[in-house]
Amino acid sequence: MKTIYRPVYTPKGAAKEYGDCAINIFTGCPHRCYYCFVPQVLRRNREQFHSDVRPRDGIVEAVRRQIEREQITGKLIHLCFTCDPYPTGYDTTPTREVIKILKESGNHVQILTKGDGSRDFDLLDSGDWYGVTYDGSYDGVYMPSDRVQDAFYTKSLGIKTWCSFEPVVNAVMVLDCIENCSDVFDQVKIGKLNYFQSDINWAEFGHKAEALCKELGLDYYIKDSLRAEMEKA
């Protein structure tokens, strides 16, 4: 068994736009988004990545050891980049255990999921962020409307909520969601579909999304690659 020495790490590149620290809990993800970049990043077979979903070996103890050894506290830690912290159909107890360790050591979590994290709402407080991904499509094993409902409920508990509109697959649906859910999310992050063909006019979409966020008084962040397209037009 390969020991994980530093499960809390500093993301690089585009991932850095999402947080200063992150932890990846599972080996794979069953959500099968066609644009998932993770198998490529991890150099893993795509089918294996989507079907072999387990907690990484010793992940909970590794987090505990690192937090104690490095006295990590006061950080906002993103869950997760190379997996979903709530893989649909799998036991998510390791995620709950990791959140407990992080919270007990004075850290906060920034969750991003397409799954159902409601079992852990009791662990979160106003310093934490619960985020859902919405790409504008209805493909896959998760229901976007359920996730928006989760965010709505989380907000009622006083937990901060956010939505990652990245990558945008259907521009019309995403603009519609921004318009109709502006009272659900405390912050939104918007990014384009990279590495795949799309008929979306990114500059036009980006300007419309930004204008809408401003009009609604919504805290927003445009990811660098989308901003670059906007600056061309």
Binding site for ligand SF4 (CB under 6 A): 29, 31-33, 36, 38, 83-84, 114
Query: 10 with 21: CB under 8 angstroms?
Result: yes
CA separation for the pair 205, 180 (Å, rounded)? 17
Beta-bridge partners for 109: 77
Rounded least distance, CB 62 to ligand SF4, Å: 20
Query: CB-wise, 1 or 195, nearer to ligand SF4?
Result: 195
Rounded least distance, CB 232 to ligand SF4, Å: 26
CA separation for the pair 205, 209 (Å, rounded)? 6
Query: CB-wise, 46 or 208, nearer to ligand SF4?
Result: 46
Query: CB-wise, 66 or 82, nearer to ligand SF4?
Result: 82
Query: 225 with 189: CB under 8 angstroms?
Result: no
Query: CB-wise, 38 or 200, nearer to ligand SF4?
Result: 38
Query: CB-wise, 134 or 185, nearer to ligand SF4?
Result: 134
Query: 14 with 22: CB under 8 angstroms?
Result: no
Rounded least distance, CB 176 to ligand SF4, Å: 21
Rounded least distance, CB 35 to ligand SF4, Å: 7
CA separation for the pair 229, 221 (Å, rounded)? 15
The answer, yes or no, to whether the previous bond of 55 is cis (omega within 30 of 0) is no
Query: Residue 189 contacts by C-beta under 8 Å, 6 or more apart in sequence?
Result: 17, 18, 162, 163, 164, 165, 166, 220, 221, 223
Rounded least distance, CB 114 to ligand SF4, Å: 5
